[in-house]
Amino acid sequence: MLTIGAGTHHSRREFLRIGTLGGLSLAQLLAARAVGAESKSLATGKSVIFLHMYGGPSQIETFDPKMTAPEGIRSVTGEVQTSLPGVTFGSTFAKLAKLADKLAVVRSYVPAYDHSASPISNKETQGSNLGSYYARVIGLNHPTTGLPSNMILSPRALFPDALGIDGPGASAFSAAGPLGGAYAPVYPGAGGDLMRNMQLKIAPDRLDERRALLTQLDGLKRDLDGSGTIEAMDRYRQQAFDVILRGAAKAFDLSQEDPKTMARYDTAPLFRADSVRKNLGNYKQYVDHGRSLGKLLLLARRLCEAGCGFVTVVGGFVWDMHADGNNAPPQEALPYVGLPFDHAVATLIEDLAERGLSDKILLVACGEMGRGPKVNAKGGRDHWGNLGPLLFSGGGLKMGQVIGRSTADGGQPASDPVHLQNLYATVMHTLLDVGEVRLLSGLGSDVLRMVTEGDPIRQLMA
């Protein structure tokens, strides 16, 4: 939350650190935004919330239950009828089943194979967070609100004692690869500095005094610098002051929401920590996911409303269901993993519709892989890269459909295979006028390839 306090006992060093984001000053970030300033009109005005089901969810227990298959293949949690005739989901997802007309489920999605190949960042993206490409085209900050274009939310954004993004390949989420560190997503709670440094604890009159001092010092520097560099940085510093005073950080302040909305999103009442076996290695992950997922999606909605274009939400490393010492099998885990997911996602979809935002915000939900079509000897499902669940809602795309079919055992696409490149193209076509991006100079071949190549999922294009 942005706070303009009345205290005056702050050193000049503290003042100069105001507005830092991820190790770069806000002025520097706004300067980097100029790289994409000429292309800001290429944005469609839409945003993407990418809900990463970290750990690899089972395609069978989620949205393709295969109840006519033999025991050991079919869903161990049963099925529930959706609002679409003849379409069922795993029984854990009863609320989403009622909203199936507002969803598009892909049953022929071919993901990656292991935890290090997140759909957010992998070899296809050259190790860059997917949202970093969007930020590279549009710029790092919204031109009006100053909010970062690309952000990651994990339970630590809400709870300081949460693990954050903690699991195999976790470092890839916040990487920017060859794009450079300036384009890495902003990750509240990652190091604890973001929220503190977006607070302004200086009385406004003192701020004006120090702004005047900086102006005088920069005036002296200008006399020594005829290149125009200092003049340019002055503009960015002025923007930094403006962003702080406009209160961009208010988007993070959930207390500004109606208490009824807060309660509506809250998944904590659905989750009982004592229902999770404490001897599981991922016990803390399950707890963090259960208590935070709803509020993380509420926070994501607020960020999108305030101008953030790409928000990655990672509730925790909880979809890994081998039935080993770390992870519970699907039948045990889905009540405390799937129920919060079902409630949180359904609430977001209904909330967006009520606010008239369904066409403005695209929700994408998937994992880095799927799960084996055959239950293993311990009752779990192992890693599987040939098929995984993929869910869409909103964004002005065509909803109320199931795309593709899987084979009888739920292990392979039987029709209309959808690959990572199709997923990425769908996201980029939602966020950007891709045809105009192709005409933009200075982006580089790798960025152009990532943003403009690939075919969107044709069934989704209205």
pLDDT in tens, 365-379: 999 999 999 999 999
Q: What is the pLDDT of residue 113?
A: 82
215 vs 402: which has the higher pLDDT: 402
Domains of the chain, CATH where assigned: 44-190+249-460 (3.40.720)
Q: What is the pLDDT of residue 238?
A: 54
pLDDT in tens, 334-343: 999 999 999 9
Q: Both tokens of residue 46? A: 């839409």
Q: What is the pLDDT of residue 218?
A: 54
Q: What is the pLDDT of residue 208?
A: 58
d(CA 386, CA 389): 11
pLDDT band at residue 130 using 50, 70 and 90 as cut-offs: very high
Q: What is the pLDDT of residue 63?
A: 98
pLDDT in tens, 249-276: 688 889 889 999 999 999 999 888 888 9
pLDDT band at residue 205 using 50, 70 and 90 as cut-offs: low
Summarize the confidence of residues 227-239 as an average pLDDT: 50
Q: Flag whether pLDDT at 31 surpasses 60.
A: no
Least confident of 16-25, 129-138, 163-172, 190-199: 16-25
d(CA 147, CA 153): 14
pLDDT in tens, 80-112: 999 999 999 999 999 999 999 999 999 999 998
Task: Residue 74: name the closest of 85, 88, 86, 94 by CA.
Answer: 88
HEC string of 132-189?
HHHHHHHCCECCCCCCECEEEECHHHCCCCCCCCCCCCHHHHHCEHHHCHHHCCECCC
